């Protein structure tokens, strides 16, 4: 087996970024570029590939919105205000569907979320390919007056927080694949919707700038992404699973044995904010979350050392065969 995504970045691409201003050693969700008239320009790029990040039968509108929202989530993780974006499309056979109606639906999806998140398209490219459809977005955000959030600021004694609920998207994907049965139609629809449409926590990210010590978004799984944050900060993290926020649907599935701790902590696609903050900032964090209209939960703490552990309600270590999604 070859190198994973993060090892590949460390070995091949990190040296190329050594002299690039604002690259942050490629250890964060976006770069921060100095721009005249702005404190900093925050830049990130993400790609979605048919059959990997979205399903062949997904509508063009949903694919477009997921592509833009995953990039918006990277800005949220840096505490940046969305500004503009560029789009590149590699369009494959589209499973026999006509090209123009598909692109029309794709553009309609982008228009919905451009309005919701106050962002505009500034350019891009499109090509044809015999392979699967690929959507790549490069997004630009503005650094606020309190600076940006990075992964590398957590210290021992900090609290660990997460926004929203965890595990719904992973369970939604299992429902789509037919490996999660016995769900009511309403429950299934809610979980699938969480998989199809991430909720980028842009307002929360901007509100936390100046208060949180470290942050990133949860894309590959809560445990694995916390491990990335801890590695960047040179610390260890411990999660109390009983404090991890779950939707009613996820809680019932867990209680019935239809979902596991591993599904919740290692499933991925949550796109919630994972962040740390000093204990002295607890009141401020709650206040900022309320102002942003986004619920947050304190789920553990940062310690000296390295690695991530998860404990159950009785304080016992929970063994996880996998921490999260592993990129090829």
Domain 159-311 fold is: Phosphoribosyl-aminoimidazole Synthetase; Chain A, domain 2 (3.90.650)
Q: What is the pLDDT along the chain (328 residues), one digit of tens a residue?
A: 566 657 767 877 687 677 767 788 878 878 887 788 888 899 999 999 987 788 878 898 999 999 999 999 999 999 999 999 989 988 877 666 667 788 888 889 999 999 999 998 988 888 888 888 899 999 999 999 999 999 999 999 999 999 999 999 999 999 988 888 778 888 899 999 999 999 999 999 999 999 999 999 999 999 999 999 999 999 999 999 999 999 999 999 999 999 999 999 988 899 999 999 999 999 999 999 999 999 999 999 999 999 999 998 888 998 887 664 454 4
User: Considering Cα of 192, then 193, then 197, then 201, what sign does the dihedral take?
Assistant: negative
The strand ranges marked E within 202-293 are 214-217, 236-240, 273-277
Give the integer Cα–Cα distance in Å for 86 and 185: 37
* CATH of range 5-142; options 3.30.365.10, 3.30.1330.10, 3.30.420.40, 3.40.50.2020: 3.30.1330.10
CA dihedral of residues 269, 174, 54, 295 (deg, nearest 10): -30
Give the integer Cα–Cα distance in Å for 308 and 229: 10
Reported as a single tens digit per residue, the pLDDT across 167-216 is 999 999 999 888 887 788 888 999 999 999 999 999 999 999 999 999 99
pTM of the shown model: 0.89
**Domain residue extents for the chain:** 5-142, 159-311
> Helix, strand or coil for residue 211?
coil
- Round the CA-based radius of gyration of the chain to a whole number and report it: 19
Count of beta carbons in the 10 Å neighbourhood of residue 201 = 27
Phi and psi at residue 30, to the nearest 5°: -160, 165
CA dihedral of residues 70, 72, 78, 80 (deg, nearest 10): 180
Give the integer Cα–Cα distance in Å for 15 and 10: 8
């Amino acid at each position: 087996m070859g190198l994973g995504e993060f090892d590949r970045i460390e070995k091949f691409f990190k040296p190329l970024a050594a002299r690039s201003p604002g690259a942050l050693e490629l250890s964060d969700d976006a770069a921060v570029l100095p721009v005249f008239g702005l404190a900093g320009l925050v830049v990130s790029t993400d790609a979605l590939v048919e059959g990997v990040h979205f399903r062949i039968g997904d509508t063009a509108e949903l694919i477009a919105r997921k592509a833009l929202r995953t990039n918006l989530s990277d800005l949220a993780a840096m505490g940046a205000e969305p500004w503009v974006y560029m789009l590149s499309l590699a369009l494959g056979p589209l499973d026999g569907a006509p090209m123009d109606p598909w692109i029309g639906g794709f553009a309609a999806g982008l228009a919905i979320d451009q309005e919701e998140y106050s962002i505009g398209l500034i350019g891009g490219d499109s090509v044809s390919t015999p392979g699967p459809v690929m959507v790549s977005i490069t997004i630009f955000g503005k650094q606020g007056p309190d600076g940006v959030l990075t992964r590398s600021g957590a210290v021992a004694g900090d609290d660990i927080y997460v926004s929203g609920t965890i595990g719904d998207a992973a369970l939604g994907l299992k429902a789509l694949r037919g490996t999660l049965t016995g769900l009511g139609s309403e429950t299934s629809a809610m979980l699938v919707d969480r998989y199809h449409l991430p909720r980028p926590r842009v307002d929360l990210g901007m509100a936390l700038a100046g208060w949180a010590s470290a942050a990133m978004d949860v894309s590959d799984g809560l445990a694995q992404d916390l491990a990335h944050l801890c590695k960047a900060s040179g610390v260890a993290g411990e999660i109390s699973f009983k404090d991890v926020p779950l939707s009613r649907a996820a809680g019932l599935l867990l209680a019935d044995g239809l979902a596991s701790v591993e599904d919740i902590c290692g499933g991925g696609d949550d796109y919630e904010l994972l962040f740390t903050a000093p204990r002295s900032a607890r009141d401020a964090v709650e206040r900022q979350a309320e102002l942003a209209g986004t619920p947050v939960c304190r789920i553990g703490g940062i310690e000296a050392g390295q690695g991530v552990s998860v404990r159950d309600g009785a304080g016992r270590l929970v063994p996880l065969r996998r921490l999260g999604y592993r990129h090829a």
